[in-house]
Amino acid sequence: MDYNLTFAMVHGQGYDGANNMRGIANGLKELIMDESPSAYYVHCFAHQLQLTLVAVAKESGDCTWFFQQLAHLLNALGMSCKKMRMLRIAQAEELIDALELEEVEIGSGLNQNMGLGRPCDTRWGSHFKTVNHVISMYGALRRVLHKIGDEYHGAEAEAALSIETILRSFEFVFMAHLMQEIFGYTHELCRALQKQGEDIVMLLSLFVTQSITWRL
């Protein structure tokens, strides 16, 4: 077998479950199981940490409510070029205000425009990234939602004003920072697990360190 791998030592299989990977993975999965029946395949096995964290979070009513509001926020902004342009302008206005108040620093790579990614349960770090961006873009998001409420009509305007009101609530702000804190604990471990050839001893050490941090 290539790469000096022994089928007898294969005890499990895990692949990216994305649609564009399924066709390739299925053939390899069957080939390996023909040689080693004990090498069971678990869908998205490499994403178990992310899946577990998201599943546990969704058991909380407050967390479920928070992620529902994130979905409403993304739907209200949509993917239209006009709304994306409004968001970029709002970010620029927020940056100008912050510079005038000397709340931010100027430098290469700093204060770049961000986009809102839709969180996916099986995509590493997607929830953490979305929450981070919502917190960083908080002022710009409120500006855009308010502007949509003023310039649009009907259900679209009502939805924007409704989510803008929710963004101003203590509950939403508190949950955003809480989820940022929780996902932040596992982010480094998630990234380490994705790297090829990562030293297992180093990973175990990182896991122990993170476990101690969680207890604190």
Between CA 62 and CA 71 the distance in angstroms is 14
Pick from 171, 190, 148: nearest CA to 48: 190
pLDDT of residue 164: 93
Q: 36-69 in b/e burial notation, b at 16+ Cβ within 10 A?
A: beebebeebebbeebeebbeebeeeeebeebbeb
The reported pLDDT for the residue numbered 114 is 54
What stretch of H or E contains 81? helix 81-100
pTM of the complete model? 0.61
Domain edges within the chain: 1-43, 50-189
Distance CA 36, CA 30 (A): 10
pLDDT at 87: 85
The pLDDT, as a whole number, for residue 170 is 96
Q: Is 111 helix (H, G, I), strand (E, B) or coil?
A: coil
Inter-CA distances, 38 with 10, 17, 25, 44, Å: 8, 20, 17, 18
Q: Give every residue of the chain whose pLDDT is below 70, as ranges.
A: 1-29, 38-54, 57, 79, 100-125, 189-216
Separation of alpha carbons 211 and 186, rounded Å: 9
pLDDT at 196: 54
pLDDT of residue 177: 94
